[in-house]
Structure 1
Amino acid sequence: MNRLPPLKSLQAFEVAGRHLSFTEAARELNVTPGAISQQIRLLEEFLEIKLFKRMNRLIVLTDA
């Protein structure tokens, strides 16, 4: 049976990708920026790919 990624991780990815900001994603989802970062990290580990390039406080979507 195929496993699916956690819904919270997918939601965090969608909102962070739309805002290109973990802080703005956290505000929209009413969580901390650290929680967004953790969910993105879990999704990246699940998919075994990097989804964002992190440059200080700036994030950019990768080609993945």
Structure 2
Amino acid sequence: MATSPDVRFPSIDGLRAFEAAARLGSFERAADELDVTASAVGKRIAALEELLGTPLFTRGPKALALTATGK
């Protein structure tokens, strides 16, 4: 089964960053677990959100929560 040329799949790094941030509730804690910076986690998740065309998290000054799509 061939995929059409315009189909893009998320990166494994992006999926790992999303899973860790969702489970741990923080980009910083996800970064510690993945041994990368919090900025790298944020960029990977932003790329995933761009690919999907929807936000996966709501970001507040102290809180990180999954959107309905993220859940």
Superposed pair shares fold, TM > 0.5: yes
Which has the larger strand fraction? Answer: 1
1:7 to 7, 12, 26: 12
Normalising to structure 1: TM-score of the pair? 0.94
Q: Which has the higher helix share?
A: 1
Moved over 2 A (4+): none
Structure 2 stretches lacking a partner, 5+ long: none
What RMSD over aligned residues (CA atoms) do the two structures have, in Å? Answer: 0.8
TM-score scaled by length of structure 2: 0.86
Q: Distance between the aligned counterparts of 1:58 and 1:12, measured in 2? A: 17
Aligned to 2:47: 42
Instruction: For residues 2-49 of structure 1, give each alpha carbon's deviation from its aligned partner in whole angstroms, at most 9, with x where no partner exists.
Output: 321111000100000000100000000000000000000000000001
What percent of counterpart residues are identical? 42
Bigger radius of gyration among the two: 2
